[in-house]
Structure 1
Amino acid sequence: MDGNDVNTGGKCPVMHGGMTSSGTSVTDWWPNALNLDILHQHDSKTNPMGPDFDYREELKKLDVGALKADLHALMTDSQAWWPADWGHYGGLMIRMAWHAAGSYRLADGRGGGGTGNQRFAPLNSWPDNVSLDKARRLLWPIKKKYGNALSWADLIILAGTIAYESMGLKTFGFAFGREDIWHPEKDVYWGSEKEWLAPSDARYDDVDAPETMENPLAAVQMGLIYVNPEGVNGVSDPQKTADQVRETFARMAMNDEETAALTAGGHTVGKTHGNGDAEALGPEPEAAGPEAQGMGWVNPNMGGKAANAVTSGLEGAWTTEPTKFDMGFFDMLFGHEWELRKSPAGANQWEPVDIKEEDKPRDASDPTKRRNPMMTDADMAMKVDPTYRAICEKFMADPEYFRDTFARAWFKLTHRDMGPKARYIGPDVPAEDLIWQDPIPEGPSNYDIGGLKAAIAASGLSQQDMVTTAWDSARTYRGSDMRGGANGARIRLAPQKDWAGNEPERLARVLSVLEPLAAQFGASVADTIVLAGNLGVEMAAAAAGFDITVPFAPGRGDATDEMTDAESFEPLEPIHDGYRNWLKKDYAVAPEELMLDRTQLMGLTAPEMVVLVGGMRAMGTNHGGTAHGVFSEAPGALTTEFFTTLTDMTYTWVDAGEGVYQIRDRNSGKIRGTATRLDLVFGSNSILRAYAEVYAQDDAAEKFVIDFVNAWTKVMNADRFDIA
């Protein structure tokens, strides 16, 4: 057929599953349908390394000394295609690493620099990340040289750390071990706004009350890492900005002292860029044409000069010596009076009312010229806010204390999402255990496991007590930042022992039985809780007619209150658990959406979610012992009744109000049981129903038990990095 045939209309002759240029998909016809895509993130098909690739093994081949030497050399090897400020790339590399790590948020552990996600949309094209594509291209020769022995994620963070060393800071340490992803995390929720830098009001109940920012968000506007440097919604008010700084840094697990140290230490070096027309910049990387080869924000007016760059729109350095880590930030901020002015790009920034010529920083491209320094609204917040000011005065009185505090805060910023210290690799891993690393002592493994198991069986605990306690202990794990999980048995400590989702009274009763048994056999409480859960699953399998042993790996340790940063564990509190058919209260988000979010954080697939929910219902492990979704007169056997009931057309489902549905016999009208949305979604959603039908088949009983045990074991061992 002629390509110009009127019937083709010039359209692409290939039938795609979706229209990539418009961002639409065939499923967009049904916008309210449950979207399971978040459970398919980072499918193995996107990974070019193959199933046998082991990054931790590859790291053993890395010549760390040579790598660090190459990075030190890079810092002062200015390239004509993107010249370095003052001939030093330190400020650019620090900003790249900072903006990678700084996307971390404590509420759900997502973001951060642990996956190299800055290489992909949306982060690679955020307004706050203008020109960081250049930093990664500058690093490419080093990545190319070291190949698979060095991930992009590790390289990005290490580059920022080496930049600080190059500028005179004694860093606290560095750990390798971040493994790259290979696909955008497009299902991570970064906010509901449909435009970049939309007013902050969109994510606050009250923009003047920073604590009302929508969870799990931490940045004040779409496309920013932290706060607007020009002030709240671009209107300067240092005290209001201080309030937002405090909230947004708290949402990434930083206290006031760490926040002040990071602000001062971050702005002790480098500069902002706004010496030109921001409107003249080309499109961001994801919007640029193929000739741009993945680089964005082309500046037609740069003229080969670093001083002509435009990124944030603010223009100038903070200190007299922007390539040295010193006390210059404090000298400048507290040594001058400041007034609000406009940058060449038209942005609000603070400049000194009066300053000596020799105290001005030199031009980034021409050392014979000096330029005015500047401060952002967030910098002025350190002077205006009483708490931040007192901390800064403490730093000024003791420069060594400031250096140490900043070095530790930088290490925390860049390692917070790596999980426990057991995941750290390399010669520069600090020996000191830090409370934010959620330390757990090594647990015993040479005790009589069989004897302990028999004692648990004879203890009088019900099967439901065993399974629910183990589940509640393990379900806190989230793969986003490798926190939570059964290891450490923190379910017996504050705040977890008092969480409503853990049924405190029941939990205390179960622990009063398991803790003495752990002591009697020389086992950790953490191991004992998991072993009891495994025993409960084995009992349920036996009741269904299957003799199976649930795999058990001893060696978990028991954390103490002193090892636990209780405040930072508060965001891990479950407010819902679809696996135990529980909601703390009604939320704007549908229960099934919440279940998908928790499932993804636990690292489970959609089929694993289906088999676990079906098994938990069959065993009668609902929160509070409710009967919703427990379609058996004698719950406890690991049977497929949940799935056979959902798919049985002899039943109809009737909305009984208040989130409860009745199962009725179509002919007699007799009520067979009750269910919630969390149950019915496994029959109503076409994908989940397809999985449910697998287990509803007459030949599925054994497969169901085996699949449940495998998924259960994955949850129990999710945080066992010592056996991975």
Structure 2
Amino acid sequence: MDSAAKCPVPHGANSTASQVPTKWWPKALNLDILHQHDTKINPLGQDFDYREELKKLDVDALKKDMHDLMKDSQAWWPADWGHYGGLMIRMAWHSAGSYRTTDGRGGAGTGNQRFAPLNSWPDNANLDKARRLLWPIKKKYGNKVSWADLMILAGNIAYESMGLKTFGFAFGRADIWHPETDIYWGSETQWLAPSENRYRNLDDASTLDSPLAATHMGLIYVNPEGVNGKSDPLKTAAHIRETFARMAMNDEETVALTAGGHTVGKAHGNGDASNNGPEPEGADIVEQGLGWQNHKTRSVGRDTVTSGIEGAWTTNPTKWDNGYFYLLFKYQWELTHSPAGASQWQPIGIAEEDKPVDVEDSSIRTMPMMTDADMAMIMDPEYRKISERFRDDQDYFSEVFARAWFKLTHRDMGPKVRYIGPDVPAEDLIWQDPIPAGSPKFDVAAAKAKIEASGLSVSELVSTAWDSARTFRGSDLRGGANGARIRLEPQRSWVGNEPERLNKVLAVLEPIAAEVGASVADIIVLAGGVGVEKAAKAAGFNIEVPFAPGRGDATQEHTDVESFAVLEPLHDAYRNWLKDDYAVTPEELMLDRTQLMGLTAPEATVLLGGMRVIGTNHGGSKHGVLTEREGALTNDFFVNLTDMNLVWEPAGENLYKMRDRSNGQVKYSATRVDLVFGSNSILRSYAEVYAQDDSKEKFVHDFVAAWVKVMNSDRFDLN
């Protein structure tokens, strides 16, 4: 009897993962994106508060241990030149560098480099060694410091130990305990697949598919050997500019980061890359989570193979100096190949004293190198101007780099109020989206009375508050109602915010804010709550929507118009609106936005159904308004959606009509995001709960709870 064929334990092709419904029905809506990071998988428990635990951390002792680590070379993975600085900087850089402005995902804020796919990206080769070198320190300080904070701190300490005065550092990044599978890194099924897979036109870098930033699957930035591995520094420059722009960096910051990152450390390609074993996720169990292990030849020190490129960029790779620009401008460079076969550039006729010494034997001088990305810094006209200034003014270069490094490593942490620690810079930076402190004390009852008497409709009140708050992104903690930036450019002119309606509402609410001494941000949210209360009353329920004052009003001066442009909504399922047609379905767009807002599937269900019956559709559309009592917070949307006396039929692009089975008359119209709550088995299960006769009151209370969550999503003083 073949016992293997009848093994009762699911594995391989029979594993649980392969049995998920989307395997059999690939077009089915996958709600897993809304179920990420369930508290049940957190080994620290639901009551663990990292921000409170940080108060117990001896920061000075930790920093001393980190400084000591830099020069404590270990035999199992020896430090180049006896200093781990280059390795630790690369780990921190690649942890932070996955951030992208388009959807705010990636970055260093969660410690996700510990998990697949990032832990096994080709660009992250041997960074598993850096994390293992940090393990004794993490073990010592335990839960008082997260992996996410520790990895970035390691980069800061590395730079400081080599002579750079850093701009500052903030603790506050809490760890996750599961891969962030909600992040789309590209459609490729092969590491480093040709770039054509993610560009509409490879000669036009701006055609890189959104929301991607890197040029290849498995890279953080661009291919260091050139576009698609073919050397062309000017073409590489165009792709660098696009990629770094999508990381929120301008040209000066881009040059500073490139040069500053390559001022220290080296690339490794002095051997045969084919001798390296599988990446961590594919490695044998005996490797204990380490990858790229070479058991065939010597694989450490001068014989390490990581990227395949070989050599240091500067004469003194463990010292913060101007050596990068010194070599880059002093010599002519020629294209060559590393021992591992990678394309790289080497100086022509270099003086012996300008060569760096070998990582293991200081009596040996080795050839420095530059990548295609480095050559772009002097061949692209704009990059060259910046490089020349940095070459001639080391202090200016150090200052620009320190600030750019701080921005790179803190960009996804959200507003400054979330920063913790003694080294938080006092300066407010525009990319932190600063908001002045609000007034937590004003006569809320008087303000509500004025709003109720304003003549504004329920739809106008609720829609304006929703539009103000819906910009929040849990990915990088940007956007939201705090700051009332909906009254500023660019938000005031966004099509999704219906400028004509918005201006009408603001013209009424802004004077009320001034009269009662409140921020406009608070009044907008309070007005939305008044609208919800009026809608609930119309449905027969007297409720009070919880409200917490304290929001401030941002100014146009402290609002980076270009930076905020990426937050513009191009769709909003909750207001039944699509700006354009997209390659993915409207319901998939809904899930993406819902996840960014931090909502669960049940919360999304009750919010969408409530918003429909209140009448908040963009432009006053009636699609999905499945009620005869528009403006009342009833469960009619779910009652009619699940009514078997009614039948749906297509009526156009993303449009459907509901007919009464008994007489064939059209009763309602709807879109895909309406109908998916009846067609998807999971969403239908939620819809049926709210359609029940005994759920009318539950529906109202659940809607209010979800509504308040959205309104307070950016209130880090409350959360």
| Cα gap change, 1:499 to 1:601, in 2 (>3 Å) | same
| Cα gap change, 1:11 to 1:229, in 2 (>3 Å) | farther
- Offset of 1:303 from its aligned partner? 2.8
- Which of 451, 459, 463 is equivalent to 1:456? 451
**Structure 2 portions without partners, runs of 5+:** none
How far apart, CA to CA, are the structure 2 residues paired with 1:351 and 1:324? 21
1:253 matches 2:248: yes
1:50 matches 2:51: no
How far apart, CA to CA, are the structure 2 residues paired with 1:286 and 1:16? 16
Residues 117-516 of structure 1 mapped to structure 2, 5 A cutoff: 117-300=112-295, 303=298, 305-516=300-511
Q: Give the SS at the match of 1:563.
A: coil
Q: Give the SS at the match of 2:557.
A: helix
Q: Give the SS at the match of 1:361.
A: coil
Q: Name whichever of 421-430 and 25-34 sits farther off.
A: 25-34
**Does the 8 A contact of 1:17 with 1:25 survive in 2?**
no
**Does the 8 A contact of 2:442 with 2:516 survive in 1?**
yes
How far apart, CA to CA, are the structure 1 residues paired with 2:688 and 2:255? 56
In the alignment, which residue of structure 1 is the partner of 2:669?
674
How far apart, CA to CA, are the structure 2 residues paired with 1:499 and 1:220? 30
Q: Name whichever of 303-312 and 60-69 sits farther off.
A: 303-312
- Offset of 1:268 from its aligned partner? 0.3
How far apart, CA to CA, are the structure 1 residues paired with 2:204 and 2:21? 41
- Which of 690, 695, 699 is equivalent to 2:690? 695
Cα displacement string for residues 449-486 of structure 1 (whole angstroms, at most 9, x for unaligned residues): 11011001101111100000000000000000000000
In the alignment, which residue of structure 1 is the partner of 2:601?
606
**Does the 8 A contact of 1:276 with 1:301 survive in 2?**
no
Letter aligned with residue 673 of structure 1: Y
Cα displacement string for residues 555-577 of structure 1 (whole angstroms, at most 9, x for unaligned residues): 10000011111101111100000
| Cα gap change, 1:10 to 1:659, in 2 (>3 Å) | closer
In the alignment, which residue of structure 1 is the partner of 2:526?
531
Cα displacement string for residues 596-648 of structure 1 (whole angstroms, at most 9, x for unaligned residues): 00000000000000000000001010000000010122301110000011100
Q: Give the SS at the match of 2:254.
A: helix
**Does the 8 A contact of 1:653 with 1:663 survive in 2?**
yes
| Cα gap change, 1:18 to 1:571, in 2 (>3 Å) | farther
Number of positions where the alignment pairs a residue of Structure 1 with one of Structure 2 = 719
Cα displacement string for residues 62-92 of structure 1 (whole angstroms, at most 9, x for unaligned residues): 0000000000000000000000100000000
Q: Name whichever of 392-401 and 112-121 sits farther off.
A: 392-401
Letter aligned with residue 619 of structure 2: G
In angstroms, what is the RMSD of aligned CA positions? 1.2
How far apart, CA to CA, are the structure 1 residues paired with 2:202 and 2:7? 47
In the alignment, which residue of structure 1 is the partner of 2:626?
631
How far apart, CA to CA, are the structure 2 residues paired with 1:678 and 1:432? 44
How far apart, CA to CA, are the structure 2 residues paired with 1:683 and 1:535? 30
In the alignment, which residue of structure 1 is the partner of 2:615?
620
Q: Give the SS at the match of 1:112.
A: coil
How far apart, CA to CA, are the structure 1 residues paired with 2:229 and 2:384? 23
In the alignment, which residue of structure 1 is the partner of 2:85?
90
- Offset of 1:436 from its aligned partner? 0.2
How far apart, CA to CA, are the structure 2 residues paired with 1:145 and 1:445? 41
How far apart, CA to CA, are the structure 1 residues paired with 2:513 and 2:554? 14
Q: Give the SS at the match of 2:409.
A: helix
| Cα gap change, 1:568 to 1:39, in 2 (>3 Å) | same
- Which of 555, 571, 583 is equivalent to 2:566? 571
* TM-score, normalised via structure 1 length: 0.98
| Cα gap change, 1:22 to 1:361, in 2 (>3 Å) | farther
Cα displacement string for residues 177-234 of structure 1 (whole angstroms, at most 9, x for unaligned residues): 0000000112310000010000011100000100000000000000000000000000
**Does the 8 A contact of 1:272 with 1:312 survive in 2?**
yes
- Which of 64, 85, 102 is equivalent to 1:69? 64
Q: Give the SS at the match of 2:350.
A: coil
In the alignment, which residue of structure 2 is the partner of 1:101?
96
Letter aligned with residue 283 of structure 1: P
How far apart, CA to CA, are the structure 2 residues paired with 1:267 and 1:379? 9
- Offset of 1:305 from its aligned partner? 3.8
* TM-score, normalised via structure 2 length: 0.99
- Offset of 1:14 from its aligned partner? 2.7
How far apart, CA to CA, are the structure 2 residues paired with 1:269 and 1:487? 41
Letter aligned with residue 623 of structure 1: H
Letter aligned with residue 46 of structure 1: I
| Cα gap change, 1:40 to 1:135, in 2 (>3 Å) | same
In the alignment, which residue of structure 1 is the partner of 2:545?
550
**Does the 8 A contact of 1:275 with 1:315 survive in 2?**
yes
How far apart, CA to CA, are the structure 1 residues paired with 2:192 and 2:213? 14
**Does the 8 A contact of 1:18 with 1:25 survive in 2?**
no
Q: Give the SS at the match of 2:76.
A: coil
- Offset of 1:304 from its aligned partner? 6.3
Q: Give the SS at the match of 2:706.
A: helix
Q: Give the SS at the match of 1:417.
A: coil
Letter aligned with residue 275 of structure 1: N
In the alignment, which residue of structure 2 is the partner of 1:661?
656
How far apart, CA to CA, are the structure 1 residues paired with 2:16 and 2:403? 44
**Does the 8 A contact of 1:577 with 1:595 survive in 2?**
yes
How far apart, CA to CA, are the structure 2 residues paired with 1:231 and 1:366? 31
Q: Give the SS at the match of 1:324.
A: coil
**Does the 8 A contact of 2:53 with 2:144 survive in 1?**
yes
**Does the 8 A contact of 1:305 with 1:365 survive in 2?**
no
**Does the 8 A contact of 2:488 with 2:555 survive in 1?**
yes
Cα displacement string for residues 669-716 of structure 1 (whole angstroms, at most 9, x for unaligned residues): 011110000100000000000000000011000110110000000000
How far apart, CA to CA, are the structure 1 residues paired with 2:19 and 2:637? 35
1:39 matches 2:34: yes
Q: Name whichever of 129-138 and 11-20 sits farther off.
A: 11-20
Letter aligned with residue 168 of structure 2: G
Q: Give the SS at the match of 1:672.
A: strand
Letter aligned with residue 148 of structure 1: N
**Does the 8 A contact of 2:260 with 2:401 survive in 1?**
yes
**Does the 8 A contact of 1:81 with 1:304 survive in 2?**
no
In the alignment, which residue of structure 1 is the partner of 2:715?
720
Letter aligned with residue 372 of structure 1: M
Letter aligned with residue 691 of structure 1: Y
- Offset of 1:579 from its aligned partner? 0.3
Q: Name whichever of 300-309 and 195-204 sits farther off.
A: 300-309
How far apart, CA to CA, are the structure 1 residues paired with 2:209 and 2:536? 43
Percent of paired sites with the same residue: 71
Q: Give the SS at the match of 2:411.
A: helix
How far apart, CA to CA, are the structure 1 residues paired with 2:452 and 2:227? 60
How far apart, CA to CA, are the structure 1 residues paired with 2:151 and 2:19? 32
How far apart, CA to CA, are the structure 2 residues paired with 1:664 and 1:49? 53
**Does the 8 A contact of 1:444 with 1:555 survive in 2?**
yes
